[in-house]
């Protein structure tokens, strides 16, 4: 059974690699969270690093399908924001995050890596679907007490914008800022009440998270991309 699964996976990967105008890449940068512990400005309240890998199939010079997997951290704390609950809540949270996503990209200019018939750069936008997993740990910053929350797997809607440009030969660079709309208020692990009965979170306002970074992308050449050898 396992051999059959590996064989099917090998056939799938081989067919993807052989298709024209395919890119593979690595992605890295900063991740952050927006929610009760960070209701304000992005990048200020404990941004954390992330890394990822991607596969991009360029259907045309304008449209592309991007599949990616990202792993990173999320964190925030009350003392770094000025919300009405932060003075008595004195909490922080941290969590790993693992995400798999598929998005449709639209290039504003016709673009493909190392294609002299297209623009060497383009801004782009995208939207798609994703699934993520978090395992939050909540800490009282006054007492040091910690509570580990349960693992959460949930869907999200990634959307964002960026900039692509040629780098060296078959290498390209992409700068990307993507926001994820979730459908849960439990990314940070906060419950609706605290020990003294005060409300911890607003269950009617779901959490968000985001990845901002740069990717290095390699265009896989096919026979149609290579120049014929003179005889």
CATH code where residue 203 lies: 2.40.160.20
Rounded CA-CA distance 197/170 in Å is 59
User: Contact at 8 Å (CB) between 210 and 179?
Assistant: yes
Confidence of residue 103 (pLDDT cuts 50, 70, 90): very high
Percent over 90 (pLDDT), the chain? 56
> What's the Cα-to-Cα distance from 30 to each of 54, 72, 96, rounded to whole Å?
16, 8, 13
Residue 85, pLDDT score: 59
Rounded CA-CA distance 102/94 in Å is 26
How many structural domains compose the chain?
Answer: 1
Containing 1, the helix (H) or strand (E) segment is none
Residue 42, pLDDT score: 84
Percent over 70 (pLDDT), the chain? 77
Residue 230 lies in a domain: no
- The answer, yes or no, to whether residue 202 has pLDDT greater than 80, is no
> To the nearest whole number, what is the mean pLDDT of the chain?
84
181-185, 213-217, 219-223: which has the minimum mean pLDDT? 219-223
- The answer, yes or no, to whether residue 199 has pLDDT greater than 50, is yes
- The answer, yes or no, to whether residue 104 has pLDDT greater than 70, is yes
Rounded CA-CA distance 75/204 in Å is 21
Residue 97 lies in a domain: yes
User: Contact at 8 Å (CB) between 216 and 196?
Assistant: no
Write out pLDDT tens, residues 10-59: 544 554 444 458 999 999 999 999 988 888 778 888 999 999 999 999 98
Write out pLDDT tens, residues 76-102: 988 776 666 556 677 889 999 999 999
Q: Which residues of 177-202 are buried (b: 16+ CB within 10 A; e: fewer)?
A: ebbbebeebbbbbbeeebeeeeebbe
Residue 109 lies in a domain: yes
Rounded CA-CA distance 219/23 in Å is 4
Residue 61 lies in a domain: yes
Residue 203, pLDDT score: 63
More confident residue, 175 or 145: 175
Residue 225, pLDDT score: 56
Residue 228 lies in a domain: no
* Cβ burial, residue 100 (10 Å; 0-12/13-18/19+): middle
State which residues form the domain around 166: 23-220
Residue 3 lies in a domain: no
Residue 70 lies in a domain: yes
């Amino acid at each position: 059974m396992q051999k059959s699964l590996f064989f099917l996976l090998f056939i799938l990967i081989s067919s993807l690699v052989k298709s024209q105008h395919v890119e593979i890449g690595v992605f890295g940068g900063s991740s952050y969270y927006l929610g009760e512990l960070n209701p304000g400005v992005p990048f200020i309240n404990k941004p954390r690093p992330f890394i990822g890998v991607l596969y991009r199939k360029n259907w045309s010079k304008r449209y592309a399908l991007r599949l990616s997997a990202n792993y990173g951290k999320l964190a925030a704390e009350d003392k770094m924001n000025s919300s009405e609950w932060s003075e008595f809540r004195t909490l922080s949270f941290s969590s790993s995050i693992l995400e798999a996503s598929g998005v449709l990209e639209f290039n504003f200019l016709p673009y493909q890596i190392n294609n002299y018939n297209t623009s060497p750069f383009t801004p782009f936008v995208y939207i798609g679907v994703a699934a993520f997993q978090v395992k939050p740990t909540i800490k009282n910053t006054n007492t040091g007490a910690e509570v580990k929350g349960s693992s959460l797997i949930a869907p999200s809607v990634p959307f964002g914008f960026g900039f692509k440009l040629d780098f060296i030969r078959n290498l390209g660079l992409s700068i990307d800022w993507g926001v994820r709309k979730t459908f849960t208020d439990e990314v940070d692990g906060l419950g609706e009440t605290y020990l003294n009965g005060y409300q911890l979170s607003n269950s009617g306002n779901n959490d968000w998270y985001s990845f901002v970074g740069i990717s290095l992308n390699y265009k896989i050449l096919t026979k149609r991309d290579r120049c014929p050898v003179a005889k």
